[in-house]
Amino acid sequence: MLEGSILQQLEAAHRHSTRPIRFGVYYKNTLVALCHALEDQILTDDSMPLVITAFQQGKWYLQEAERYADIAQHSCGITIMAAADAGFAEHPTSQLANVNLVGLYPTDSVAQEWHLIILSPKYTAMVICQELSEADYGSAGLPTSDLERKFYGLWTFEPELVQETAAIAIAHIKQYNSELAVKLLAQKDAIPPRLAAPAEVSAVVSRVVDYLQTGQENLSVSAALHQQVLDRNLVSNEIQAFLRMAQLMDLADINNPMAAAEVVALAETMGQLLDLPAWQIKRLRLAGLLHRIDPLQNAESLLTATTSIPDQNAPSCPLVPGVQVLRTMPRLRAVAQIITHQTEYWNGTGEPAGLAGDEIPLESRILALVADFQCRVNQQKSSSLSREEIFTQALNECRQQQSTRFDPKLIDTLALLVMGLQQGLDLPLIEPKVSTGMWLIDSRWDTYSKTNEEIGTYLQ
């Protein structure tokens, strides 16, 4: 990373923290898709966010100048950093009252970065990247196609991280325009950090995937190998989008923020006890990470929802809000089906399709059971019960629903798992490497155990 760049300062601040930042490598077409999706959210929203950008060179800004004239109408202020080029300051958009330009010195490391930072009363989001150097490209050399240029960085909705990055960017702007920096700092401080609502994130993620797929279709890449590399990058970043949405679902639940990781650990162990093939366990893992992706599905509704026998003429696999975004990606359609049918009941009285018994996908049955078990254990984490008593109580509560809601054979498997937990079995919690999504499909899982003090180590 270039010394003094915004990316380098952010990385340095988290290098030795408990939550170091995981960066990824993005092709330019990916960044264009990400930025356009986030910009579209500004255009369709009425929250009037503060926007801070870096365009590397003025010529890249000029390509987006007309678009930013529209964005300015939906923003409280836009600050654009870029190395000064001919025509940069003369464009009409640059003359708007709420648009501020910061012409970077050619030697400024930020002139090699690409940023979009959005601070809204409703949500926060950012893309922050730095172009790879010639040495970083290695023996392959610099790319001949503009869209094959690579950038190192990340994108996120995490409020505290976006606010921190905005503060670093404003401090950098202060070197050029102290008066503007004071104004931006006041605007930033007036916007409290806030997690985006599930529907907000779902809309952005859906746009990101759409832009990624559309952009990929429009690429003109001569070499088949390069096309394959770009395809893998596309898949990786689509999965990143879904994982970030799921991650925010967990963060938004202050009472059960580790639900996904713990459900994955339980589901994987159940799969191993059932001797499922590796491909099925991998699919179950991904479904576990994403099992709360539907804004209409949460632990409370899963436990208390009333169900009825659906119309027999209804589709066998209804369209469930929130899960539909997964179906836009062919490789995730099976995962979408697993998540959709986790609310089916063994006796056929569940939703959304009224499937019964073995008609319900096995992964859906496993996911439903371990998600319910995890929720019950989590609810008792602050009680006076011992670890063993908590597991026993949660298992007994699940048993009360066997043959009605849950597969009785899976209850027996869960009992074996609980016996192991009571005897000290440690389950590795899997933290998704959101910066590199391909590992979920093609790579071996990098698992590890960690102590989770917040949850009382009940699932470890």
pLDDT grade, residue 433 (50/70/90)? very low
What is the model's pLDDT at position 312? 37
Residue 164 lies in a domain: yes
Residue 158 lies in a domain: yes
Residue 1 lies in a domain: no
Residue 193 lies in a domain: yes
Cα distances (Å, whole numbers) of residue 255 to 106, 173, 455 = 49, 39, 10
Please compute the mean of the pLDDT values over residues 221-244 and round it to a whole number: 54
What is the model's pLDDT at position 213? 64
The string of pLDDT tens digits covering residues 405-432 is 999 999 999 999 999 888 877 776 655 5
Please compute the mean of the pLDDT values over residues 355-361 and round it to a whole number: 94
pLDDT grade, residue 60 (50/70/90)? low
The total number of residues written for the chain in this structure: 460
Please tell me whether residues 78 and 204 are part of one structural domain. yes
Please tell me whether residues 260 and 247 are part of one structural domain. no
What is the model's pLDDT at position 223? 41
Per-residue DSSP letter, 72? H
Q: Is the distance from CB of 339 to CB of 260 less than 8 angstroms?
A: no
pLDDT grade, residue 439 (50/70/90)? very low
Residue 60 lies in a domain: yes
Amino acid sitting at position 422: Q
Please tell me whether residues 200 and 306 are part of one structural domain. no
Token couple for 171: 């401090």
Residue 377 lies in a domain: yes
Please tell me whether residues 220 and 273 are part of one structural domain. no
Q: Residue 348: which CATH number? A: 1.10.3210.10
Q: State the pTM of this model.
A: 0.65
Please tell me whether residues 241 and 318 are part of one structural domain. no
Render the burial of 423-459: b for 16+ CB within 10 Å, e for the rest. Answer: eeeebbbbbbbbbbbeebeeeebeeeeeebeebbebb
Among 251, 270, 285, the domain boundary falls at 251
CA distance 291 to 285: 10
Asked if the model's pLDDT at residue 261 lies above 80, the reply is: yes
Asked if the model's pLDDT at residue 123 lies above 90, the reply is: no
Q: Is the distance from CB of 447 to CB of 440 less than 8 angstroms?
A: no
Please tell me whether residues 219 and 330 are part of one structural domain. no
Render the burial of 57-96: b for 16+ CB within 10 Å, e for the rest. Answer: bbeebbebbeebbebbebbbbbbbbbbbeeebeebebbee
**Spatial CB neighbours of 335, under 8 Å, sequence gap ≥ 6:** 283, 286, 287, 290, 326
Please tell me whether residues 239 and 286 are part of one structural domain. no
What is the model's pLDDT at position 222? 43
Range from 155-159, 167-171, 277-281, 427-431 carrying the lowest mean pLDDT: 427-431
Residue 320 lies in a domain: yes
Most confident of 218-232, 323-337, 341-355, 419-433: 341-355
Per-residue H/E/C for 81-135: EEECCCCCCCCHHHHCCCEEEEEECCCCHHHHEEEEEEECCCCEEEEEEEECCHH
Render the burial of 290-299: b for 16+ CB within 10 Å, e for the rest. Answer: bbbbbbebbb
DSSP for 129-179?
EEEPPHHHHGGG-S-SSGGG-EEEEEEE--HHHHHHHHHHHHHHHHTT-HH
What is the model's pLDDT at position 199? 67
pLDDT grade, residue 443 (50/70/90)? very low
What is the H or E stretch that residue 187 is in? helix 178-189
What is the model's pLDDT at position 87? 63
Using alpha carbons, select from 266, 265, 294 the residue that is nearest to residue 398.
266
pLDDT grade, residue 303 (50/70/90)? very low
Cα distances (Å, whole numbers) of residue 280 to 7, 436, 447 = 38, 21, 17
**Spatial CB neighbours of 446, under 8 Å, sequence gap ≥ 6:** 433, 439
Range from 68-77, 296-305, 404-413 carrying the lowest mean pLDDT: 296-305
Please tell me whether residues 201 and 336 are part of one structural domain. no
Q: Residue 164: which CATH number? A: 3.30.870.10
Q: Which domain, by its residues, includes 236?
A: 6-251
Please tell me whether residues 242 and 276 are part of one structural domain. no
Number of domains in the chain: 2
| Position with higher pLDDT, 231 vs 357 | 357
Please compute the mean of the pLDDT values over residues 340-345 and round it to a whole number: 92
pLDDT grade, residue 400 (50/70/90)? very high
Please tell me whether residues 431 and 355 are part of one structural domain. yes
Q: Is the distance from CB of 406 to CB of 364 less than 8 angstroms?
A: no
Range from 80-84, 148-152, 306-310, 368-372 carrying the lowest mean pLDDT: 306-310
Render the burial of 205-216: b for 16+ CB within 10 Å, e for the rest. Answer: bbbbbbbbeebb
What is the model's pLDDT at position 404? 96
Please tell me whether residues 223 and 112 are part of one structural domain. yes
What is the model's pLDDT at position 325? 55
Handedness of CA 397, 401, 402, 407 (dihedral sign): negative
pLDDT grade, residue 317 (50/70/90)? very low
Residue 460 lies in a domain: no
Asked if the model's pLDDT at residue 22 lies above 80, the reply is: no
Asked if the model's pLDDT at residue 308 lies above 60, the reply is: no
Among 186, 220, 251, the domain boundary falls at 251
Please tell me whether residues 223 and 271 are part of one structural domain. no
CA distance 234 to 216: 8
| Position with higher pLDDT, 441 vs 138 | 138
Among 194, 228, 251, the domain boundary falls at 251
Q: Is the distance from CB of 302 to CB of 291 less than 8 angstroms?
A: no
Name the percent of the chain in helix, strand, coil, to the closest 5: 55, 10, 35
Asked if the model's pLDDT at residue 277 lies above 70, the reply is: yes
